[in-house]
Structure 1
Amino acid sequence: MTRVSEVAGRQGPLESLLHERLLYPVFQPIVQLGNASIYAHEALIRGPQGTALHTPDALLRAAAQEHLSYEFEIACLEAAMQTWGQLRVAGRLFVNISAMALTQLFALRGREALLGLIAGFGVVPRMLVLEITEHERVEDMDHLAQVVSEVRSAGVALALDDFGDGRSSLRLWSQLKPELVKIDKYFTRNISEHGDKLKTIQALQQIAEIFGTQLVAEGIETPEDLRVLRDLGITYGQGYFLGHPDRKPLKYLGVDALRVLRERQVAVFPELTRSTPGGHLRSLSLVRAPTVGLDTSNDELASIFLDMPDLHAVALVNTERPVAIINRVQFMNEYTKLYYREVWGRKSCAVHANFEPRIIERDHSVDELVGILTSQDQRYLSDGFIATENGRYAGLGTGDQLVRSVTEVRIEAARHANPLTFLPGNIPISQHIERLLKKKARFVACYADLNHFKPFNDHYGYWRGDEMIRLVAKIAMEQCDPQWDFLGHVGGDDFILLFQSPDWQLRCERLVVEFAARAEAMFDEDARRQGGIQAEDRHGVSRFFPCTTLSIGAVVIDGSQFSRAEDVANLAASAKHDAKQSGGGVFERVTPVSTQV
């Protein structure tokens, strides 16, 4: 062990611990989530129990106060390897070391001395993983990369700790290319409830694939979070739910964790947001039209329009900033009038400008542009609009382009999240079915549809119809187990429910009964008394329609028998048709490959 020198003849509390070799490691398991096996253990250092220096935080503070950070880290490294060598446990050993301590260790001892140290404790180099912990910014990244290359050539693997906590940088990942990266517990804790954390993990998975790195999810403390991380395909996991730190390494995974990792049910991923993603218009095609200034004459502007017959307008700019737009048709109507050129030809064209143009930043969201389309000032339809990049002129667009682009982005957004109910749309529905099929899970695909909804919508108005659709969504959410059951909104009054709950039929029946009771209150008193309304059918013939109810078609799916989400959706739609033909309620369509859930 590194010799710790005495300062002014007096040892500090930590220095005494180091001198007496009182530090000891505890080991926390790192689990391979795919096969529920114990892959490795991380060594975590402790001081004597019952003392002020028992916890890692207290030890780190003491090391900083006594200026013994390097000596402390090396003592931790040696204590971990010595104990591990004595225990002779299978699997890899993860030990923490800062970039500063690693580079200093190599400078003082060199590669061969380090190998001798490892071998002296009975640890096989290829079973050792140095886990880089960063408490301060790495100053010389190139030198650290050279040291890491030396470490790797000795057979020792490298891991990057707490990625995402602000200290472990993407450049460090890119330059060192560690075999493993440990995701900071901020992103894994309660991931089952936060769609933004889930999307962050998915982004890290893409980066890991680029660099050929395996990910370790830290801080797993609940079965719900473990299920989501398991279904995301994270390779390794670590946390209290998988195993607490202990002086004796864990031989077998606990029953609760083992049950979660081996179950065939698929977790329902949390949604990113409860609002419709609007998207941006960066892909909008622009006209790279010339601009004019306040000093541009009418004659000069007329020449531009004559040279560019397809140009609908020009922007008037002042020091790169657009301030107005001049409509071609309106300008040319004035310019071609008798004696106009003789009187006004050399004067400024600004007299024809609209100084309240529609100016759209290329990164505008659709939600911001909807206000333009619905405003009382509709001149954008003829003038078009001016597009800017960071406030600078970028080009022109037409009113038709704006309307078409907003519509296209809205349609695409609705495929991801329905704008009325905020429930997942067609794309997330298909993705969840694909995940169920990939896991070969048994589940029930239900297609829910309203009976006699169109007459209600026509009779009371679309706003009341929207209210009824939201009521379906609300009651359906109440009847779904958020952990196992997926609810999606196909569009209109059509909903998809994917049940893994064994009591799915009871849930569906409650949904039908509860909706019938609460939907009846949306009819006026006369309609409730008569049991329905008089309205026109699809052929324009007036007839009586009962109060709106709900039909649910269900089909039991054996995931091992299907490969395409489309086939499952088609079966559910056929079951819905059967349910409506049978008079409503819940109808289970039996198929040759159906099995009990």
Structure 2
Amino acid sequence: MESGRIEAFKIDAQSLQTILDERLVEPLFQPICDVARQTILGFEALSRGPEGSELESPNALFSAAQRFNRLSELELLCREKAIERFAELNLSGKLFLNVSPNTLLDPNHPRGETLQLIQQYGLQANQVVIEVTEQDKVDDGFLLLKTIGHYRKLGFNIAIDDLGAGYSGLKQWSELQPDFVKIDRYFIDHCDQSLVKREFLKSIIELAKATRTAVIAEGIERAEELALITQLGITNAQGFLIARPSAVPLNAYPNTLKESSQAQGNVMHRGLVKTIGELTHVTPAVLNGVLCQDVHRVFEKDKQLMSLAVVDEQQMPMGLLHRDQLTEVFAAPYGHALYAKKPLASLMDKQPLIVDEQSQLDEVSQLITEQDFDIRRHIVVTQGGKYLGLVPLRAILKHITEEKIRNAQHANPLTMLPGNVAINEAIEQRLLNKQDFTLAYIDLNHFKQFNDLYGYASGDGVIKLLAEVISECCIGFSGFVGHIGGDDFMVVFDGDDAEPLCREIINEFELKSKSYFTHEHVKAGGYWATNREGQQQFVPLLTLSIGLVSPHVDSCHNSHQVAALATDAKKEAKRYRNSYLFVANKRRPTVAIVS
């Protein structure tokens, strides 16, 4: 048994030596995406050993290197191959290089190799991010800090990898003051289903804001995880859902993510509201790398200027600098001397709120409230991923308030749901955008007899109950709920979930509405009442008629045509004595016959 272990040991040593001698390392690249700007932030370089060998996997390869004290040589080889291939493929964004702290501290590890390599292959230092993994225990923290400081002085960005998975965590964050922090995938995995993980992510976001650090969520494999981290305010993402590591990676923002973000953008009660682009002020931006003293002069020349966007050479937003941040620093003792010649990146907010010009105001308002932004600040607006201008938060909230007041004026006073004006606007918006949707016309059956027998208070109670049932059934689904008046409601569905939701509304209402009847009437399934002709007839318990129509957006030109289709569908549903959902095949308006 012992001899077997020695033999395997020798094979590993020889295999590793062959890999180092013949440079048999294959670099792969996994994209890191900025989902807010819909751009590629950069690529993490990953290394593999010879395909099919016992050292193909990175774990086996680096474990063997560490076992035989060849880690420094292997990391240098991987680094060179990654830089060479990154330049050869002309990949966009930054190159993220994994570096073990113990390698950095190895006295035999050659100095200046990384800078020499990037110069050799035509890269700039600010294109490269040195990722320091947190999983390795470091004995000499002071020396590591000094080494990282050396890299930073050369112009490299610094990142802490696998935050939360290792030894020093927050201490390392505090001391290294990284540009990026990558959250370990443990905290991302099914974070949408874990309150503890969600709270951890929130605390990381707050720390990142305070330290002006950009956060990257690693290991995203599910759309629900991406939706949650985006909602919380983490815009940089990496994982199999976005793209797997590849020798020749996709060098553009994935179309699948664009479609996903569009689907997530649909929200309940969305009416005809303005886009953020209509409020945007086209404000000049400054290039990343400009000195603080130069930016201070810009603010001094224009007293009305409160914020400046920071962009790269391709006009992609990198951050935001506020006048009061700079003023406060320069006003402090020795502040001017300390910061005048420093690049503005040392003071700017690296995680401002960045939205596309087509974003709806209510969606942006939700982002503002969820991320707890200072009301005095601005947000950055982009057009096709490039900087367009700034919008004061006050302007957004002012317009949102005005919109809410206008909707309240037209809301139904009994249910406070949007009324006819808002319903028509919601339909018109979808027709204008050529956005497919389904419209449900919901009507109470036998309501007049119930109202006459049980009184108006019970009648109002039943209408409010129906409003609550519809709203509760539609929580989390994209669409719009409106109250036409009386016992008539309309629901706009943007997804393909209209039929099951309508059936759920029927079931929930029939169950809950029984509480408004006496025990005898429930047991009998109805009650006797006098009709309009003065005759006694048996009236069933309250039921629902729902007409469902999917209008052809190219054939319907206004909300009245769509409403007419829904009304016809509802009339068909009313022909049935019990609750009924009628799904109409007719999608186009009736053409008027002119004689």
Alignment TM-score, normalising by the size of structure 2: 0.50
Alignment TM-score, normalising by the size of structure 1: 0.49
